Amino acid sequence: MAKTSVQFLCSECGWSGPKWYGRCPECGQWGTIEEFHEARPSAASRTAAPGRTSRTQSGAVPSSAARPITEIGTENMSRIPTGFSEFDRVLGSGIVPGSVTLIAGEPGIGKSTLLLETAGNVAREVANHRDRNVVLYVSGEESQAQVRMRAFRINAIEPNMLLAATTDLATVLGLIEQVRPALAIVDSAQTIVSQDVDGISGGSTQVREVASALIDTAKTLDVPVLLVGHVTKDGSIAGPRTLEHLVDVVCQFEGDAQTALRMLRAVKNRFGPTDEVGCFELTDSGIYGLADPSGLFLSRTTRGVPGTCAAVSLEGRRPLPTEIQSLVAPSSGGSPRRTTSGVDHARVAMILAVLQARIGADTSGADVYVSTVGGARTVEPAIDLAMAISIVSSLKGVPPRADLVAVGEISLTGEVRACTGTQRRLAEAARLGFSSAIVPAQGSEDLARVDGITVFTVSDLATAIRVAFPTDSQ
Q: By three-state DSSP, how is residue 245 classified?
A: helix
Q: How many CB atoms lie within 10 A of CB 38?
A: 15
Rounded Cα distance between 91 and 316, Å, is 13
Residue 74: per-residue pLDDT: 66
Contact 302, 323 (CB under 8 A): yes
How far apart (Å, rounded) are the C-alpha atoms in residues 228 and 209?
15
CB 250 within 8 A of CB 244: yes
DSSP symbol at 351 = H
Least-confidence region, from 63-77, 150-164, 405-419: 63-77
Please report the pLDDT score of residue 293 as a whole number. 81
Whether the pLDDT of residue 48 is over 80: the answer is: no
CA distances from 196 to 98, 164, 193, 212, 402 (A): 24, 21, 9, 13, 67
pLDDT at 114 over 70: yes
pLDDT of residue 233: 66
- For residues 18 and 401, what is the distance between their CA atoms, to the nearest angstrom? 65
Distance CA(434)–CA(438), nearest Å, equals: 11
d(CA 311, CA 170): 52
Do 40 and 2 form a contact (C-beta atoms < 8 A)?
yes
pLDDT more than 70, % of the chain: 88
pLDDT at residue 64, rounded to an integer: 62
Q: What is the mean pLDDT of the chain?
A: 85
Model pLDDT, residue 449: 86
Rounded mean pLDDT, 4-24: 78
Percentage of residues in the chain having pLDDT higher than 90: 52
For the stretch 304-345, pLDDT in tens is: 789 999 999 988 788 889 999 999 999 887 789 999 999 999
127-155 confidence digits (pLDDT tens): 766 567 899 999 999 999 999 999 999 99
pLDDT score for 24: 87
200 pLDDT above the threshold of 80 = no
Q: What is the pLDDT confidence band of residue 353, given thresholds at 50, 70 and 90?
A: very high
49-71 residue pLDDT tens: 444 444 444 445 565 678 888 87
Q: Which pLDDT belongs to residue 288? A: 92
pLDDT in tens, 210-266: 999 999 999 999 999 999 988 876 667 766 677 888 899 999 998 877 778 888 999
Query: Tell me: the pLDDT tens digits for 371-396?
Result: 998 778 888 999 999 999 999 999 99
pLDDT score recorded for residue 414:
95
